[in-house]
Structure 1
Amino acid sequence: MSILHSRPALALLAALAAAPALPATAQQLAITWDDLPAHGPLPPGETRVEIAQKIITAMQQAKLPPAYGFVNGVQTQNEPASTPVLQLWRDAGLPLGNHTWSHMNLNTNPLADWEQDVTRNEAMLQKYMGDADWRWLRYPYLAEGDTAATRAAGRRFLAGRGYKVATVTMGFGDYLYNEPYARCVAKKDSAAIARLESSYFAAADAAIVYSRSLSKALYGHDIPYVLLMHVGAFDARMLPRLLALYRERGFRFVTLEEAESAPFYRNAIDPGLPSSPDSLEAAMTARGLPLPPAPGPGLDLDALCR
């Protein structure tokens, strides 16, 4: 979970650059998208549909396999103009999964409320997915319950409804960039946007080294990774170059189903099984292995373009 809520570390990139290089094999990576149909503030002059179309076009041009988008249905009420994003996603042959109706945090809400939030989303998923497989769930905030009892009960609930869990094993806090980007666009600060771009690429690159290093420490080799992204305006802007970066680093894009067929994800695919570490960090902790510093943006994003 810490991968997406990591603290800034200005010296991390230099430390990672000095670390031994990992082999650039044709490693597997599944890209997934959270918070459909709307994530983050809109920069002036952009729409949710335009943002989604940029993301879809970039994936099509890069010939990516179908990537899951995880839906918070409440956004169709909060921003009705964002609703066509869901049909746009489906028309492109991309699947949808459940991110709960309101992006509810299981760690801070009663289990019964969270379960109701999961089921409230299902009618919308059935509408857009039909007979296709929408029974994948991404826990909001990657929060799977703050006690063993809550976690176990939540898993039993998901197993009873036929869900699989879309675990995350790579991320670089991409969501952090969408709000400052909107501010910088509003101020027409091209120099600040260039700084955002550099920081975004550096964070993505550092996260590759970080996740692969954890996998190597745990298993002596890479596992297939599941990357968490968000459907924000800055992500849409950066995606063509980001996909090129992953290919340059030796990645081959696969579906979520392909990635999670690996043994690491066995208990995520079947939440009826006992709980197991849900991230590489958690697996390291369970094995008593020390964690390296988590990568961060290396830039004060909150202060930019204020």
Structure 2
Amino acid sequence: MKNPSTALLLTFLFFTICTSAPAQQIAFTWDDLPAHSALPQGETRIEIGHKLITAMKDAKMPPVYGFVNGIAIEREPASAPMLKDWRDAGFFLGNHTWSHMNLNTSSPADWEADLLKNEPVLQKYAANTDWHWLRYPFLAEGNTPEKRADTRKFLATHGYRIAAVTMSFGDYMWNEPYARCVAKNDTTSIAQLESSYLEAASTDADFRRAMSKALYGHDIPYVLLMHVGAFDARMLPLLLKLYRDKGFTFVTLQDAENDPFYASAIDPSLPDQPDNLESAIQARGLPLPPRPKPSLDVNALCR
């Protein structure tokens, strides 16, 4: 018979190990507010926003960040109330530049001016909140060391933190095909879009976790890139269930980026370090895990 004190010690050690192990965490972030991609027949940007907000509220998610392109309001004035709804729900807004300008194909001066042009929109809709978070359009951080350094210095001077991305399954690719399929009332193709979307999210999560474990032996908190598209709104309840079924919990962007991996994103005045897992793997000279291959060419549907 085991010594009761030994059994108690083993139980305590098991509990301590289990509870201290890093949990699988995701911070959801949303790009292209208030208007992303094609708008299906019979929907509005406001309705898409309501679907996203409702799904996240129903799932009791912590407050998320949405990154704004002010030019969308200029192009689609009717989309503007989506930003107010987002804030009224207790969610936050950040800067995605005015025109979604690609830093890799622009001069730092032009790109920085585009970012500053977006600030009045954020001051209007997100006053008295922490809106000094940047999501680089196209995740383009500068195609030369000099451009990256110049831009990081600018961001640090203006009090910005970078919303890095460590998980993304290319959700934006499903939104235009979905609008086409809605127009054709092609329910068979929409079902294909649904299954392939969830499959892509699942296999991508496994891919990101494999990179994190190769680097650190455990999961870092992941920052997930999403877009405020109509198909994303349709699929969000199922997507949240998928992640929960895979063992993930949801955290804020701030909590995720408290992890040391994101130190140079939180403070752009620090030396530039990889802020995505692929770059970190390459910097360490480690082999990249097999990248998931799509099972369906979504762009071929409903043509």
Common topology (TM > 0.5): yes
Match of 1:277 in 2: 274
> In structure 2, what is the Cα distance between the partners aligned to 1:298 and 1:158?
39
> In structure 1, what is the Cα distance between the partners aligned to 2:23 and 2:145?
37
Residues 16-56 of structure 1 show CA distances to partners (whole Å, capped at 9, x for unaligned) of: xxxxxxxx974111000000000010010000000010000
> In structure 1, what is the Cα distance between the partners aligned to 2:224 and 2:31?
11
TM score, norm. by length of structure 1: 0.91
Q: How many residue pairs were aligned?
A: 283
Q: Cα offset for 1:296?
A: 4.1
Which amino acid in structure 1 is aligned with residue 151 of structure 2?
A: G
Deviates more, 1:294-303 or 1:40-49: 294-303
SS in 1 for 2:281: helix
Which amino acid in structure 1 is aligned with residue 189 of structure 2?
A: A
Match of 1:75 in 2: 72
Match of 2:155 in 1: 158
> In structure 2, what is the Cα distance between the partners aligned to 1:131 and 1:53?
23
Match of 1:183 in 2: 180
SS in 1 for 2:32: strand
- 1:143 has 2:140 as partner: yes
Larger Rg: 2
* Structure 1 gap ranges (5+): 1-23
Match of 1:230 in 2: 227
Equivalences for 1:236-251 in 2 at 5 Å?
236-251=233-248
SS in 2 for 1:34: strand
> In structure 2, what is the Cα distance between the partners aligned to 1:118 and 1:44?
32
Match of 2:298 in 1: 301
> In structure 2, what is the Cα distance between the partners aligned to 1:295 and 1:263?
27
Higher relative contact order (CA 8 A, sep 6+): 1
Contact 2:102–2:137 (8 Å) recurs in 1: yes
Match of 2:111 in 1: 114
Residues 44 and 253 from structure 1, CA distance in 2 versus in 1: closer, same or farther, beyond 3 angstroms?
same
Q: What percentage of residue pairs aligned between the two structures are identical?
A: 67
- 1:213 has 2:210 as partner: yes
Match of 1:61 in 2: 58
Match of 1:6 in 2: none
> In structure 2, what is the Cα distance between the partners aligned to 1:112 and 1:293?
38
Deviates more, 1:196-205 or 1:292-301: 292-301
Higher relative helix content: 2
TM score, norm. by length of structure 2: 0.92
SS in 2 for 1:302: helix
> In structure 2, what is the Cα distance between the partners aligned to 1:31 and 1:174?
13
Q: Cα offset for 1:126?
A: 1.0
Contact 1:51–1:231 (8 Å) recurs in 2: yes
Q: Cα offset for 1:297?
A: 3.0
Match of 1:131 in 2: 128
- 1:86 has 2:83 as partner: yes
Match of 1:200 in 2: 197
Match of 1:21 in 2: none
Residues 228-257 of structure 1 show CA distances to partners (whole Å, capped at 9, x for unaligned) of: 000000000000010011111111100000
Which amino acid in structure 2 is aligned with residue 265 of structure 1?
A: Y
> In structure 2, what is the Cα distance between the partners aligned to 1:298 and 1:305?
17
Residues 83-132 of structure 1 show CA distances to partners (whole Å, capped at 9, x for unaligned) of: 11110101101100000000000001111000001000111101111111
Contact 1:25–1:251 (8 Å) recurs in 2: no
Match of 1:5 in 2: none
Q: Cα offset for 1:219?
A: 0.4
> In structure 1, what is the Cα distance between the partners aligned to 2:292 and 2:97?
28
Contact 1:200–1:297 (8 Å) recurs in 2: no
SS in 1 for 2:268: coil
Contact 2:95–2:119 (8 Å) recurs in 1: yes
* Structure 2 gap ranges (5+): 1-20
Which amino acid in structure 2 is aligned with residue 243 of structure 1?
A: L
Which amino acid in structure 1 is aligned with residue 275 of structure 2?
A: D
Equivalences for 1:97-112 in 2 at 5 Å?
97-112=94-109
CA RMSD of aligned residues (A): 1.0
Residues 141-181 of structure 1 show CA distances to partners (whole Å, capped at 9, x for unaligned) of: 00000000000000000000000000000010000000000
> In structure 2, what is the Cα distance between the partners aligned to 1:197 and 1:288?
36
> In structure 2, what is the Cα distance between the partners aligned to 1:33 and 1:138?
9
> In structure 1, what is the Cα distance between the partners aligned to 2:152 and 2:270?
8
> In structure 1, what is the Cα distance between the partners aligned to 2:22 and 2:281?
23
> In structure 2, what is the Cα distance between the partners aligned to 1:300 and 1:260?
34
Match of 2:14 in 1: none
> In structure 1, what is the Cα distance between the partners aligned to 2:297 and 2:221?
32
SS in 2 for 1:178: helix
